[in-house]
A and B are shown apart, each in its own frame.
Chain A
Amino acid sequence: EAGVAQSPRYKIIEKRQSVAFWCNPISGHATLYWYQQILGQGPKLLIQFQNNGVVDDSQLPKDRFSAERLKGVDSTLKIQPAKLEDSAVYLCASSLGPGTTVEQFFGPGTRLTVL
Chain B
Amino acid sequence: TQLLEQSPQFLSIQEGENLTVYCNSSSVFSSLQWYRQEPGEGPVLLVTVVTGGEVKKLKRLTFQFGDARKDSSLHITAAQPGDTGLYLCALAGGTYKYIFGTGTRLKVLA
- Give chain A's interface residues, CB within 8 Å of chain B: 4, 33, 35, 40-45, 48, 55-56, 58, 91, 93, 98-104, 106-109
Contacts and interface: CB of A to CB of B under 8 A. Distances in A.
Given A42-B100, A101-B50, A56 B43 contact: no
Interface residues of B, number: 27
Given A56-B97, A58-B97, A99-B92, A109 B42 contact: yes
B31 A100 contact: yes
A42 B88 CA distance: 7
B99 A45 contact: yes
B66 interface: no
Nearest to B88: A42
Nearest to A31: B96
28 contacts: A33-B98, A40-B103, A40-B105, A42-B90, A42-B102, A45-B97, A48-B96, A48-B97, A55-B96, A55-B97, A56-B95, A56-B97, A58-B97, A93-B42, A99-B96, A100-B31, A100-B96, A101-B33, A101-B92, A102-B92, A103-B45, A103-B48, A104-B43, A104-B98, A106-B43, A106-B44, A109-B40, A109-B41
Given A45-B97, A101-B92, A106-B43, 7 more contacts: A33-B98, A48-B98, A91-B42, A98-B96, A100-B96, A101-B31, A106-B42
